[in-house]
Amino acid sequence: MAQLMKMYMRAVEKHPLRTSACTTGTLMATGDCICQLLIERTHNYDFHRTGRFLGFGLFIGGPIFRVWYKTIDKVFRGTKYAPVKMVIADQGCFAPVFLPFFLGTMGFLRGETVDEFKNQVKKDFIPVMKANYKVWPAVQICNFMFVPLQHRVLAVNLVSIFWNTYLAWFAETKNKDDLNLIEQELILHEAVHESHETQTSKSTSSTTVNESVVS
């Protein structure tokens, strides 16, 4: 374990952006694995879904986190109440933008349309933000006060294993629930339509028989 940490420290010093990207991608994929195996207890593991989380963390989330933390550290470091200012900037500016961006990107990778993305954000934004504010302000105040800049992405990612598990459940499972609801509504609509056709057919047959008897 100590040797692994030394390797990580060297990687952070030499390649901070790439290390943050790889760490974020790996831990986002881990969160989805936990969600599928331990929470959803799926028997048909969705490797494409885990790949989406891996790709998002590797190519989008990791680089964004690295640049963001470096920026707010540069802006607020050395000022009075710097950690508090960083938390306010992080939770007041970054989180409300990043979370809808994350939900939209994952929806796009699933093949959803722009209208579906808008509807999802309208429906899910408030619940996700409420959950976010129950977790991240306390985590980030500790992160900005006690963790050096080069290790802040790692600190966030370790906590994010649990957060990503929640996001995976929220972004993916709720999406499946919506699809199941739509399918159920379609089945019900088809059943009502078939019932109506059957009743119409019986009514027509009865009318024909009555006409024959009268004739």
The count of structural domains within the chain is 1
The token pair at 76 is 């607020």
pLDDT at 208: 47
Residue with tokens 């649990």: 162
pLDDT at 170: 81
Separation of alpha carbons 52 and 64, rounded Å: 17
pLDDT digits (tens, 9 = 90+) for 125-163: 999 999 999 999 999 999 999 999 988 998 998 898 899
SS (H, E, C) the chain: CHHHHHHHHHHHHHCHHHHHHHHHHHHHHHHHHHHHHHHCCCCCCCHHHHHHHHHHHHHHHHHHHHHHHHHHHHHHCCCCCHHHHHHHHHHHHHHHHHHHHHHHHHHHHHCCCHHHHHHHHHHHHHHHHHHHHHHHHHHHHHHHHHCCHHHHHHHHHHHHHHHHHHHHHHHHHHHHHHHHHHHHHHHHHHHHHHHHHHHHHHHHHHHHHHHHHHC
For residue 143, give its domain range: 2-214
The token pair at 213 is 């008897």
How far is CA 62 from its chain centroid? 15
User: Average pLDDT, stretch 104-124?
Assistant: 88
User: Average pLDDT, stretch 189-209?
Assistant: 53
Highest mean pLDDT among 4-8, 39-43, 48-52: 48-52
